[in-house]
Structure 1
């Protein structure tokens, strides 16, 4: 009788635990980072100097600005691409969660250079022609017993966010920022096309340059994740 009772109860925790494991795996597997890394792992890698027209490929190189670079909101680093998010802890009944109050992404045209060869990348937000994942390497937070830094306070004021709530207590806020810094190594995938170069590049004597573009089936892919830089060999 006791054995029957145990057997009838044990499957329930097992099913719950299995369900949680499956849920965690699916969240990880279908995360933006993993989708992009899987796509890049299946994409042919070519050296910039050997790109062929109309081929969807990935290239590695360092980012260089075409015009005056962007300035990252909190770290104030010069960059060609940044993404940032500000979240606030919100209570709802007996539970609480992080609510996004600012979600911002800015890009500009940039060059990718490797061993003296260049490609140009032109990310567009409307309509969006790229997919991206940037490593979040700058963070800040505040709470009841955790005062925000002066830099974080200044940033919050820029977005008209009050860092204090009732009775002057600090709000529970957090910030994360990812950028493509000038000179940073990254991976970009796209369809290679020859274009007329309107902006001169120092030490680059040609009037045409390869651009990595998108089409209806393939978006430009941009990431600075170090795993995307790993290659067993370069395909030429």
Structure 2
């Protein structure tokens, strides 16, 4: 059956054509949302790169390293869990009613600082920036908090809401349906980063590191840093 035959059939069967059209649109939108999500983009890029040892990095080569995240300076403190970290993303959303329920973002707080990756006593430094943003990331959600009509927010959740100037109740003093997610890269957590390898002179000594230069993973105008704590991302390439 060619296109003209399909068009003729659908024109003669509009009662079937309209549901099919909506189904096709829904599937297309859902697939696009999945395919272009940060998680899938990060996985696609990393799967094309072999995992390298820090000692085998080559200048100007786009490389992938997996190791422990360590802080360069005083660590960040995650807003809800209060854990020490080098990167956190917190989002608070409210469910909106109506025929088609959806979630509205009330607050999003994302902070990242420079950090080391350590593997087998070798170090590489990563310097993400938020303005301009030089990285693409996906962090696994560590904490989920919610409240609703019959689910009062905890004391800790209320404190968090106050920090971001969000009221936990609405009309008739009923609890709003709220949810909060927190994702972090904790100190010592195993992570994967990809960037363009450079070698820089070390201004201050690193405990346990006896060299005067250190590898750095950088971004460029055409290639952002890739940062994730997703586990077990398989590489399609071998060294």
State whether residues 37 and 227 of structure 1, in contact with CA within 8 Å, keep that contact through their aligned partners in structure 2.
no
**SS class of match (1:226):** coil
Match of residue 223, structure 2, among 218, 228, 232: 218
**SS class of match (1:36):** helix
2:178 maps to 1:173: yes
* Whole-Å separation in 1 of the counterparts to 2:93 and 2:59: 43
Deviation at 1:114, TM superposition (A): 0.8
Q: Could you tell me which residue of structure 2 aligns to residue 39 of structure 1?
A: 45
* Whole-Å separation in 2 of the counterparts to 1:42 and 1:203: 32
* Whole-Å separation in 1 of the counterparts to 2:216 and 2:71: 15
Q: Could you tell me which residue of structure 2 aligns to residue 20 of structure 1?
A: 26
Q: Could you tell me which residue of structure 2 aligns to residue 158 of structure 1?
A: 163
* Whole-Å separation in 2 of the counterparts to 1:118 and 1:21: 45
Q: With structure 2 as the length reference, what TM-score do the two structures score?
A: 0.88
Match of residue 87, structure 2, among 59, 69, 81: 81
| 1:1-236 matched pairs, under 5 angstroms | 8=13, 9-91=15-97, 94-228=99-233, 230-231=234-235, 235=239
* Whole-Å separation in 2 of the counterparts to 1:88 and 1:149: 16
**SS class of match (1:27):** helix
**SS class of match (1:155):** helix
Alignment length (residue pairs):
229
* Whole-Å separation in 2 of the counterparts to 1:90 and 1:16: 23
State whether residues 66 and 199 of structure 1, in contact with CA within 8 Å, keep that contact through their aligned partners in structure 2.
no
Consecutive unaligned residues in structure 2, runs of 5 or more: 1-8
Q: With structure 1 as the length reference, what TM-score do the two structures score?
A: 0.89
Deviation at 1:234, TM superposition (A): 5.6
Deviation at 1:161, TM superposition (A): 1.5
Consecutive unaligned residues in structure 1, runs of 5 or more: none
Aligned-pair Cα RMSD in Å: 2.0
- Check 1:192–1:27 CA distance in 2 against 1; reply closer, same or farther (3 A cut): same
* Whole-Å separation in 2 of the counterparts to 1:106 and 1:204: 27
